[in-house]
């Protein structure tokens, strides 16, 4: 559950968080985030309308900005003005024209029914207070198609995070964290749980960050009257060793294949509205 904290945040700090992912000096980190956006962009047609639903995360709005550069008419919404200001700065630095910036929450989107050709919600639903309501709103405001991405737990990079480490700096301790994270995933799998919680400190509080099994999330999708067109791995990432990026690039060509689509750092889903 994500808490909407009513505090004023420093714009420069927030922008540095976004930039540290998109323009990271670490090759693995940079590739992981950019690979996901490139795959999502490939699913969007130019000259269409897109609503990019954000919540104030570290890479919020990047898809919307890059979609605008591709020629889509983009509206971006987020829960606070500070977050929209960060996205606006990113858009200006990338020479992208966003049509509108709107303050609203994923559970209460301030738009008419069937307003957008596409609606995207990228690594947001794992944080919302009401998943059912958020899914209903995505359905309501979209004309036909919705793009959703969420974190998943079947990846070596994710094992490191679940064990309390990271995927881009190697040390001996990280090996134990990798094993511990993998054990947590194995136990959740054996117990047929929906996924595994990762605990992050965010905005001065520890926040639960839910890493799902893809087939469990697909059940949620179908429950909310969407038809799954395709899904795949955000990025087939390997931890710590920068030389592995070349291998990742080759594997990511097959990220929608049966063998690889469940094993990304996250998973994205291309959905179509089913008739209720």
Percent of the chain having pLDDT more than 90? 64
Per this entry, what is the length of the chain? 276
For residue 240, give Cα distances in angstroms to 4, 21, 28, 196, 237: 33, 16, 8, 22, 10
pLDDT in tens, 188-215: 999 999 999 887 665 555 567 788 999 9
Higher pLDDT, 248 or 10: 248
Q: Which domains does the chain have, with CATH numbers?
A: 11-152+210-237+255-273 (3.40.50.150)
pLDDT in tens, 99-143: 999 999 999 999 999 999 999 999 999 888 899 999 999 999 999
> How much is the pTM?
0.90
Percent of the chain having pLDDT more than 70? 92
CB 146 within 8 Å of CB 121? yes
- The residue ranges of DSSP E strands in 2-141, in sequence order, are 49-53, 73-78, 100-103, 116-122
Q: Which among 147, 108, 110 has a CA at the least distance from the CA of 128?
A: 108
CA–CA distance, 233 with 236 (Å, rounded to integer): 7
CB 157 within 8 Å of CB 239? yes
Give the pLDDT of residue 120: 97
* 3-class DSSP state of 95: coil
């Amino acid at each position: 559950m994500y808490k909407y904290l009513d505090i004023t945040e420093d714009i420069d700090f927030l922008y540095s968080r976004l930039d540290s992912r998109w323009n990271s000096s670490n090759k693995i980190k940079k590739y992981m985030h950019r690979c996901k956006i490139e795959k999502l962009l490939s699913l969007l047609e130019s000259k269409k309308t897109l609503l990019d639903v954000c919540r104030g995360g570290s890479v919020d709005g990047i898809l919307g900005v890059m979609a605008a550069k591709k020629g889509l008419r983009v509206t971006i919404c987020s829960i606070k003005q500070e977050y929209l200001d960060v996205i606006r700065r990113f858009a200006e630095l990338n020479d992208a024209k966003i049509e509108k910036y709107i303050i609203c929450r994923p559970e209460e989107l301030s738009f008419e029914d069937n307003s957008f050709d596409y609606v995207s919600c990228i690594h947001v639903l794992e944080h919302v207070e009401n998943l059912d309501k958020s899914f209903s709103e995505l359905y309501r405001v979209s004309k036909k198609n919705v793009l959703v991405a969420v974190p998943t737990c079947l990846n070596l990079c994710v094992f490191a995070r679940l064990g309390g480490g990271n995927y881009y700096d190697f040390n001996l301790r990280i090996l134990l964290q990798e094993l511990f994270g993998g054990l947590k995933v194995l136990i959740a799998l054996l117990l047929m749980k929906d996924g595994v919680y990762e605990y992050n400190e965010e905005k001065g509080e520890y926040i639960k960050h839910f890493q799902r099994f893809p087939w469990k999330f697909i059940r949620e999708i179908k429950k909310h009257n969407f038809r799954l067109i395709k899904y795949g791995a955000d990025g087939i990432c390997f931890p710590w060793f920068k030389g592995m990026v070349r291998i990742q690039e080759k594997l990511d060509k097959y990220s929608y294949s049966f063998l690889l689509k469940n094993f990304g750092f996250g998973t994205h889903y291309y959905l179509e509205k089913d008739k209720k």
